[in-house]
Each structure stands twice: as structure tokens, then as C-alpha cells.
Chains A and B, each alone.
Chain A
Amino acid sequence: MIKLRRKAAPNFGRRKLGAALGAAVAAGGFLAACGSSSASSTSGSTTTSKPIVIGISLPLSGDFSADGLAFKQGYEIWADYVNSHGGLLGRQVQLKIISDNSDPAQAQTDYQQLITVDHADLVFGPFSTLLTIPAAKVANRYGYAMIEGAGGGPSAFALGLNNLFDVSAPVANALVPAAKWLASLPVGQRPKTAAYPTSNDPFTEPQVLIAKKIMEAAGIKTVYFNVFGSEVTDFTPIASAVAASNADVVILGSVDVPTVSAFIQDFAQQHYNPKALVATGGPDQGSQFIAAVGAANANGVMVPNTWYPGASAPGSNAMVSTYIKKFGGTVSNVSADVAEAYSVGQVAAQAVTHVGSLNQKAIIQYLHSGVTLTSVQGPVKFDNLGENTAAAIYGFQWVNGTFKQVLPLSDPNSSGLLYPKPNWGA
């Protein structure tokens, strides 16, 4: 998780504009659908062999296309797994996925289509807070639960919608394990100085500020702190300035792979080797990250995360093997995005199974009941805003080509932390 939203750059990336009297084009389908929009929420009682339709809108093109595709894979392998294990309530699940092109207006149209025309029995979330907010508002209007895995920005919960549930961990405290660990190192090893370049993104800046506070309290001096616009495309001046500060450790508030990759490339070129580099997002994207920075430069880079390829959480092995069976590749192709989407499916399945029907009201009530559910990302327990309070965030590191859990040190699954970080290319 953590990387909830990719760069929101000013751009000419294609984007869908609302729409037209496409009504005429699709009138048949729409008309057939009119007037029975409430049917789906009660259809659980009439159990038939009809599949359960799950409506999802995803950004399959535009700014978030890389994440959108990973989410699609996550949802698909969850559906495959469920269908090959008896289905849900004895029925097969069928995903109805349409693209919103990273456009909130299209996401809003899409969920109306999914609920009122396709009569989806359940709806799952899109990717990013930007798309989740209009989606959750539409779902709320129709009394649907909106279970999602990457829409946990503060503004989403600020709406006070009772149908919104984010299965991933809240972001603000994500850097705490890494910051606490650095602060608690013995004096000889403890870094003396730190640099904090961060994007002005709502998901990176708060994390970085909390980490900065913890580390400053431990006497680690801040030698560089700067916020760059989320639309910045050329990171060379910023990275060079960080390198020139010669800080012992770098906490990088990044949202995507290209940002981290640009910083690492410049650090390597400047022969600047901090003792630790912790990025808020990017290194968690598995093989995509390695493809961009190269395996040698990845060594020792850290990132907060909730899932990793060696995780032992319930369903993790099943998810990985289903993924490899469907898409090929190896375990490292499974990114954090895939796990987030898969967790959405897992949580929804537990709720539906417990309730015994597709009654949305009952599902929402159950998810708010304080029950603890399981997911590949760990335990899930919702507070009244729909934030996952049980989620634990760990520190991860690339160690000689594998992505390992290393923090907190007290956790039995943590091991093999590399500190100080090996030099670039080593």
C-alpha cells in the first residue's frame, strides 16, 4: 500500500470527458435496466446458479494505468481463487470491470452504470483517493458498501460516509517503524544528519513530517527539508541538493517508481552513499522497481509496506500461486497493488459469507461491528470511519535481490537488515 496515488502531473495524458447522449447508442441496455435498481441488494435470498456480479471501475489508462492494471490482476486472481474453491455463497463470482481512464467524472458515471444498469451485487473500489471519493458517494447513494484497498487519503474519511471501508493501513504512521529504529540505534551507529525531500502529495508529506519529528527528538539533525510539487518531472536539481547536504540518511517522500529511480540515479552519479534510504512508495512495486533502478542499485533501499512476497499471512501463498498460474513470472512480479486488491476481495468474501446474503445493509453493519477479519496484508478491523485500525505496517528492504521484512526488529518475521546500506551498484 502506502503508494496510494501516483503523481498527479499537469499533462496531456488522454482523459475521457464526461459523455454524451450515448444514451441513444446503448438505449437498449439502459432501458431494460430502468426501474429495478434495488433488485440486486436482495437477490441473495433467491440463491440460484446465477453468478454474483462484482462491479469495479479501474484506471486502465491515463495517470494511474500502471496501478490500475496491477489492481485488475489482483481482483482477477481473487475471483479465480474463489471460483475454483466453491465460489461465494455457492455461486460463482463474475467481475464486471470498466475503465475510468483516471478520471473522477468517469468513475462517477461508471459506478452508476455498474449499480443501475449492470445490477452489480457488490462493488469494489477503484485505485486512488481521487477516484474513490466520487465512487463512494455514488455507492452510498444506493446503499452499497464500498470496500477498497487504495483510497485511504484523509479526505476520503473526512466525508464521514458509513459505507466506505479501506482494507489497507492508514498512511500517516507508515514511516514510524523506520524512524523509531533509526532513532534507537546506538550512538556510534546512529545517523547524525538526515535529509527529507518530499512530494507535496497528501500521502507522503504527513508521513515524512511524523518521521522527521521522531528523528529530530533523538538528536538527528535535519540538514535538508524541502517539499517539491507533485507535478515536478525533473528531479536532478533536488537530488543534487540532497547529495550536496551529505546527510547520513535520506527519507524520501515519493509516490511512484520514476521519482525514486531518478533520485537513486542521481545519488549514484554523485557518489553519494547515505547509510539508509527510506522511500514512502516505489520500492514496493516488485519487479517494476527493479526494472527501473537495476538490481544492484536497489540493494539496501527501504520502504514501509504491509505485504511482501514471503509473507505468511492467510491466503498469501494461494494468492501468489494463483498469480503465477494466471500471469506467469515469479513471486517478485506480485506487487503491493496486487495484494491490496486481493485483500479487498478477501474481506468482502468474509463479510458476505458471515451475513449469508448480499444484503448491503447487513454487510455494512457487520464490517462496522468491530470484528477482526483476515487478509494477505494482515488483520483487518474497521473503526467507525472505515479505517483499518488493526493493520500493522512493517519496514521492508531490498536485500541482495529479495524484498524482505526487516522492521520492526522485535517482530519474529524480521531479519537480515542491511545497515549501513551498501554503496550504489554493490
Chain B
Amino acid sequence: MSNFLRAVIDGVLTGSVYALMAAGLTLIFGVMEVINIAQGILVVLGAYLSYVLSVHLGIDLFAGLIITIPVMFVLGVGIQWGLMRRLGEREKVSMSILVTYAVAIILEGVLDLIFGPGYLQLTAWYVNQSIHVFGFYLPYIYVFGFILAVGLLGSLYFILYRTEFGRSLRASQQNKTAARLIGIDVNRVAAITFGIGVAVTAAGGMVFGATTAFNSNSSADLISRLLTIVILGGMGSIGGAMGASVLMLVIEAIVSTYWSPTWATLVFYMVLVLVLVVRPAGLFGQKAVRAQ
């Protein structure tokens, strides 16, 4: 039983990190119907930014987010304004994959140029320490990461559902032409959405960098897992991304404990396929993702 509980706790805690990394992706995917392949490298960029602030300026990792989040926001707005805005409506998904892939390799080249291929990891007192609760050690970094995820994603939810901007954003998510007709500046909404999506990723990158040793090539393993989470959670659903991240990582941890770590990753993708066959809208989404 304690093995089972431990697997569940591990899954929930690591799942919150994935939720932070996936939130930006689902927002961008849901609102603009573009797939941002660069999400993985943006996570790594967030980690590098936090690294620079903490090592060179001695700023705490969490405090540093006050700087990295706006920086990443500007970058996101820049990518949308400079590149994504120019994509035509037809073939938008395919073109977005290729354009963001190009952005990803440029960013990777730049990061490699500046930092080299050596591995780095973010450090702070809470990175290696843990709190003892009910016989389980909960690492502070994951606990803080979890609180950050709930806080940030909660605010995002608030912005989406309780503000004027959120209403225009959801309007353009549902019907672009109608949104335009009632006077919403769709381009502006898109730019800000992309900005927010990338900004949230700064937080995901920081927690990622504090829990994993990374280099510029680390983005490689991330994007497929993040896309899986986004589809399962339902495109555009922030809560869905959180739910799907936690669920997937709990399943993975349980398979790893009771069966074999070798098959845990496989199960991750099997769940995706099974869910899409049975419930095409994803676990939490309302938008149908099925053709027929």
C-alpha cells in the first residue's frame, strides 16, 4: 500500500511540473489552432534564463520568475507578431509545425553558442531538501512547484473566464469571424495569448531545470510528452492540462513500480491512443477532435 501511495505522490508532484510546461502549449493550441513545436526548447530557455539570474546575479529561482516571465512574454509576442501572424488560414497547422520547428533549431543553436553543450542544473536550498509528512518525504522543490502550478494556472483560469480579455480570447477561440465582427482585435488577442503561453513556460522551465540536469539538447524528449498531455487534457483547457499531466504521471509511476520502468513510457502513449479511440474529445475537453 505504501508503495502504491508513494507512486501516486510521485506522479502528482512530477505531474505538476509537466502541467506548468504544458499549460502554454494548450493555450496556444486551443486558441490559435497552431502546434508550437518550439515549446520544448522554450522550456529549456526558461531554465537557462533562471540559471543566469541565479548564478550571475544571485537572484532566487522563484523570485527570478518576476524577471523571466515578462522576458518570455515579449519573446512570445515577438514570435506571434513576426512569424505566426503571417500564416494563411489554410494549411495553418502544418505550416505552424514547420515554422516553430525552424524557431526551435535557431533557439537551440543560439543557446548552444552561448552556453555550450555541458549539463547544468539549478540549485537552491530547497532543491535537495524535503519535508516529512505522514511517513513520506516530499521534496520542497516539487511542493513549491505544485503550489506555483496551482497558483499560476489558477490565475490563467481567472484571466480566461473572469476578464474582458478572457472573453475576447474565448470568443476568438470559438469563432474567429464572429469575434472580428463584434469588434475584437483578433491579431492583438493572438499576440497576447502567444505571449502568455510562452510566459507561463518560463515557470515550467525553472522547475524543470531545478529537477533535471539539462543542456540545449534536452528539449528533445519533451515535446512529444507535452503534446500528448495537451491532447488528452483537451486542447485549450488549462484545467485539463493539469488533470492530464497528473493522471499520466501517476499512471506512469504505478506502471513503473508494479510492472517495469521499461514499459512505463510505452503505457503513456498507449493511453493516448486508447483515449482518442474511445473518447475523441480528450479526457477533459469539450471540442470534438474526431472527424466523423
Question: Interface on A for B, CB 8 Å cutoff?
Answer: 9-14, 61-63, 65-66, 68-69, 200, 226-229, 231-234, 236-238, 240-241, 244, 257-258, 261-262, 265-266, 268-271, 288, 291-294, 297, 424-425
Contact = CB atoms under 8 A, between A and B. Distances in A.
A42 B40 CA distance: 51
Interface string B259-275: 01110110000000000
Interface stretch (B162-170, B212-220, B236-244): B212-220
A321 B147 CA distance: 49
Nearest to A69: B117
Contacts of A244: 2-3, 6
B130 A257 contact: no
A236 to B, nearest CB: 5
Contact of B260 (A69, A226, A265, A266): A226
Given A12-B40, A66-B215, A258-B212, A226 B261 contact: yes
B243 to A, nearest CB: 18
B103 to A, nearest CB: 13
B128 A424 contact: yes
Interface in B88-133: 104-105, 108, 112, 116-121, 123, 127-130, 132
B213 A14 contact: no
Contacts of B13: 236
Contact of A238 (B118, B128, B215, B256): B256
Task: With a 10 A CB-CB cut-off, give which of A61, A240, A244, A424 has the most chain B CB atoms.
Answer: A240
Contacts of A10: 221, 224
A61 B220 contact: no
A14 B37 CA distance: 12
Contacts of B104: 12
Contacts of B70: none
Contact of B117 (A65, A233, A294): A65
B139 interface: yes
SS class, residues of chain B in contact with chain A? helix
B139 to A, nearest CB: 4
B54 interface: no
B7 interface: yes
A406 B286 CA distance: 62
A268 B252 contact: no
B14 A63 contact: no
B10 A240 contact: yes
Contacts of B161: none
B158 interface: no
Task: With a 10 A CB-CB cut-off, give which of A228, A237, A294 has the most chain B CB atoms.
Answer: A237
5 contacts: A12-B224, A14-B105, A240-B10, A257-B213, A269-B129
B121 A292 contact: yes
Interface of B: 2-3, 6-7, 10-11, 13-14, 37, 40, 104-105, 108, 112, 116-121, 123, 127-130, 132, 137, 139, 211-225, 249, 252-253, 256-257, 260-262, 264-265
A66 B263 CA distance: 28
Contacts of A9: 220-221
A293 B264 CA distance: 26
Contact of B116 (A69, A258, A261): A69
A232 B265 contact: yes
B120 to A, nearest CB: 6
Given A237-B253, A261-B213, 8 more contacts: A66-B215, A68-B117, A228-B256, A228-B260, A233-B222, A236-B10, A265-B211, A293-B213
A194 B5 CA distance: 23
Contacts of B14: 234, 236
A68 B252 CA distance: 32
Contact of B108 (A14, A227, A269): A14
Nearest to B130: A269
B215 A291 contact: no
Task: With a 10 A CB-CB cut-off, give which of B7, B119, B223 has the most chain A CB atoms.
Answer: B119
A66 B6 CA distance: 34
B249 to A, nearest CB: 7
B139 A238 contact: no
Contacts of B225: 233
Nearest to B37: A12
Contact of A425 (B128, B213, B214, B217): B128
Nearest to B268: A234
B220 A11 contact: yes
Contacts of A63: 217, 220
A330 to B, nearest CB: 15
B217 A200 contact: no
Contacts of A13: 217, 219-220
Nearest to B219: A12
Given A226-B260, A232-B264, A291 B118 contact: yes
The 9 closest A-B pairs by CB, nearest first: A11-B220, A13-B220, A228-B261, A269-B139, A258-B213, A237-B253, A292-B213, A65-B117, A269-B130
A270 B219 contact: no
Nearest to B127: A265
A66 B265 contact: no
B7 to A, nearest CB: 6
